[in-house]
Amino acid sequence: MPETLTHKNTSESLKLFERACNVIPGGVNSPVRSFKSVESNPLFISKAKDAFIWDVDNNKYIDFVNSWGALIHGHAHEKVIIEIEKALAKGTSYGAPHENELELCELIVQSVPSIEKVRLVNSGTEAVMTALRLAKAYTKRNKIVKFSGCYHGHSDSVLSMSGSGFATFGIPSSPGVSKNTANETITLPYNELFSLELILNKYPNDIAAIIVEPVMANAGVIPPIKGYLESLRTIANKFHCLLIFDEVITGFRLSKGGAQEKFNVMPDLTTLGKIIGGGMPIGAVGGKKEIMDLLAPIGSVYQAGTLSGNPISVACGLATLKSIDKNTYTYLEETTNELCEEVSKLNDKLGANLTLNKTGSMFSLFFTKERVTSFEKAKLSNTKSFAQFFKLMLLNGIYLAPSQFEANFLSTAFSKEELTKTIEAYKNSITEMFK
Ligand X SMILES: *Cc1c(COP(=O)(O)O)cnc(C)c1O
Site string for ligand X, 188-227 (x = CB under 6 A): -------------------------x----x---------
The string of DSSP letters for 305-360 reads -TTTT-HHHHHHHHHHHHT--TTHHHHHHHHHHHHHHHHHHHHHHHT---EEEEET
- State yes or no: residue 152 binds ligand X (CB under 6 A): yes
- State yes or no: residue 151 binds ligand X (CB under 6 A): yes
The two beta strands, 185-188 and 117-121, are unpaired
Q: How far is the CB of 18 from ligand X (least distance, A)?
A: 26
Site string for ligand X, 330-369 (x = CB under 6 A): ----------------------------------------
Active-site annotation holder among 246, 256, 262, 358 = 246
Contact of 104 with 317, CB cutoff 8 Å: yes
The two beta strands, 207-212 and 242-246, are parallel
Binder to ligand X among 112, 128, 315, 324 (CB under 6 A)?
128
Q: Which is nearer to ligand X, 50 or 213 (CB)?
A: 213
Half-sphere exposure (Cβ direction) of 47: Cα atoms closer than 13 Å:
7
Q: How far is the CB of 212 from ligand X (least distance, A)?
A: 9
In this structure, the dihedral spanned by the alpha carbons of residues 267, 271, 275 and 277, taken in order and rounded to 10 degrees, is 140
- Whether 151 is a known active-site residue: answer yes
Binder to ligand X among 283, 286, 287, 311 (CB under 6 A)?
283
Q: Which is nearer to ligand X, 200 or 276 (CB)?
A: 276
Active-site annotation holder among 55, 61, 136, 151 = 151
Q: How far is the CB of 149 from ligand X (least distance, A)?
A: 11
Q: How far is the CB of 424 from ligand X (least distance, A)?
A: 30
Looking only at residues 228 through 247 of this chain, which bind ligand X when binding is defined by CB under 6 A?
A: 246
Residues that bind ligand X (rule: CB under 6 A) add up to a total of 14
Q: Which is nearer to ligand X, 37 or 67 (CB)?
A: 67
Choices 34-42, 120-128, 190-198, 315-323; region in contact with ligand X by CB under 6 A: 120-128
- State yes or no: residue 278 binds ligand X (CB under 6 A): no
Residue 230 burial (CB count, 10 A):
13
Binder to ligand X among 125, 313, 359, 383 (CB under 6 A)?
125
Half-sphere exposure (Cβ direction) of 349: Cα atoms closer than 13 Å:
11
- Nearest Cα to 49, choosing from 71, 66, 74, 81? 74
CA distance 279 to 296: 28
- State yes or no: residue 267 binds ligand X (CB under 6 A): no
Q: Which is nearer to ligand X, 246 or 418 (CB)?
A: 246
The string of DSSP letters for 149-197 reads T----S-GGG-BS-SHHHHHHT-SB-TTS-HHHHHTEEEE-TT--HHHH
Contact of 208 with 136, CB cutoff 8 Å: yes
Residues forming the site for ligand X (CB under 6 A): 123-125, 128, 151-153, 213, 218, 246, 248-249, 273, 283
- Give the active site residues: 151, 246, 274
